[in-house]
Amino acid sequence: MTPLGIYIHVPFCAKKCPYCDFYSCSYSKEKAINYAQAVIRDIECFDGAAAADTVYFGGGTPSLIPLELTESILSAVRKKFRLQNPEITIEINPCTVNRDKLLQYYNMGINRLSVGIQSADNNELLLLGRKHTFETAAAVILNAYDCGFRNISADLMTGLPYQTFESIEASITKISELPVTHISNYILKIEHGTPFDNPDFIRNMPDDDFTSDMYLYMVKTLLDKGYRQYEISNFSKSGYESRHNLKYWKCHEYIGFGPSAHSFCGGIRYYCPPDLDSFINYPAKKIVTDDKAGSDEEKIMLALRLAEGINLSSFPKLKTNVITKIKMFEKSGYINFNGENISLTPKGFLVSNSIINELTDFI
C-alpha cells in the first residue's frame, strides 16, 4: 500500500491577499493555541496507524504561528503515523521568518520550504498586495540554504496587469539564480468576492491570448534555466518534484487536518468545514463530497495534468474509442502520442479541461 500524505491546513494570515479565496482568518496567539490543540485531537482520533511519507503545512500562512505549535503538531503526526523517509514541507511568507526560525524548522525535521515569492519585480509585488520585497524573499532563501535546506520551492505568478515578457523573464532569472529547486506557477484568476473582483482592476487584466503567450514563454524560459515541467503549473530540478502534490495527481490517499482541509481515503473524498470556531469545538466533523472517488474519469483527469501523461493500456475503454480523437489533437500540437502513452504539450496544458472532457466522454 502506498504511504499516505498528511496535509495540515493552518488558516491564519496577518493580512489576506486581494487575489486569494482560500479559507483564512485573522491571527491571534490564543486562537492559534486553540487551533493547534484541536488539530492534535483530530490527529490522535484518526482511526489506524498507517504509514505516511509526506507532511505538508499549507495555509493561510503556516509560518505565522509560533514554532512550538508547529513542533507539537508535527510531533502528534509522528506519534500517530509511521513516517517513512518523509518529505516535510511548510509554506512560508518571507515577512514571517528570520534565520533563527528557519534553523528551528530545519532542526525539528522540516526539510522542504515553499516560499511565497510571487514575483521578483517589486512593482508587481505591490500590485499583488504583498508586504515583502524581492530582496527580502531572496535573503530568506539564502538564509534557509545556509541553515541546511536543499529543497526549496518558490511561487511565481503570471497573467498580472501590466506584466510583460521582460518582467517574467527577469523574475525567472533572478529566482533561478537562488538555490531554488522547484517553481510553482499560478496564473492570476479573478475569484468572486475578492478585492480584485472589481471593474477597475479587471479592465487592466491581460486578455486570454496574451496570458496564454505569457504561459508558453514562461515554460520555455524555465526549461532554458534547467527546470523540468512535470505538471501543468509545476517545474523542478531533477529529483525535486513535490512528492506530496504528486499524491493528488496520482490518486494516492491523503488525510487533511484543520479547517477546510480535504482528504481522500478508502475511496471517499471529504473535508473539514471552513470554520475555525467550529473546528476548535468539534474537529472530528467531516463532510463527504464523493463516496465513489477514484473512477477512471477522475484518474485520467488528474494524470493528464502530469507531463508523463497516461498509458492507454491502463484504460482499455479509452484506447478502443478515442484513437482518432487523439491523433487529431496530436496533429494540432496539443498531445504527444507514441501509440501507447499520451501526454499534453505546453500548448495542450492551456486547454487541458477541454481536451480531458472530450476524451473522458468516451468512457
**pLDDT tens digits along 87-118:** 999 999 999 999 999 999 999 999 999 999 99
Q: Rounded CA gap, 123 and 134, in Å?
A: 10
Q: Which residues sit opposite 336 in a β-bridge?
A: 343
Q: Does residue 233 register a pLDDT over 80?
A: yes
Question: In this structure, are residues 56 and 7 in contact, taking their beta carbons and an 8 Å threshold?
Answer: yes
Question: Which domains, and CATH codes, for the chain?
Answer: 4-248 (3.20.20.70), 299-360 (1.10.10.920)
Range with the poorest average pLDDT among 25-34, 111-120, 350-359: 350-359
Q: 18-38 burial string, b = 16+ CB within 10 Å, else e?
A: bbbeebbbebeeebbbbbbeb
**Contact indicator for 194, 205 with CB cutoff of 8 Å:** no
CA atoms of 346 and 343, how far apart (whole Å):
10
Mean pLDDT confidence for 132-142: 98
Please provide the DSSP assignment of 215-231 as one string: HHHHHHHHHHTT-EEEE
Question: What's the DSSP call for residue 306?
Answer: B
The answer to whether residue 229 scores a pLDDT higher than 90 is yes
Could you identify the residue written with the cell 477597475? Answer: 200
| Residue 292 pLDDT grade (very low, low, confident, very high; cuts 50, 70, 90) | low
What average pLDDT does the structure give for the chain?
A: 95
Residue 85 burial (CB < 10 Å; 0-12/13-18/19+)? exposed
Q: In terms of Cα–Cα distance, which of 252, 214, 249 is closest to 230?
A: 249
Identify the CA nearest to 214 among candidates 134, 174, 157. Answer: 157
Q: Give the C-alpha separation, 234 to 359, whole Å.
A: 23
pLDDT digits over 144-195, tens only?
Answer: 999 999 999 999 999 999 999 999 999 999 999 999 999 999 999 999 999 9
Q: What is the mean pLDDT of residues 317-335?
A: 86
**pTM listed for this prediction:** 0.95
Q: Compute the C-alpha angle 45/50/52, nearest 5°.
A: 110
* Gap between the Cα atoms of 359 and 356, Å rounded: 5
Q: Please work out, in degrees rounded to the nearest 5, the angle formed at the alpha carbon of residue 17 by the alpha carbons of 6 and 256.
A: 15
360 falls in which pLDDT band (50, 70, 90)? confident
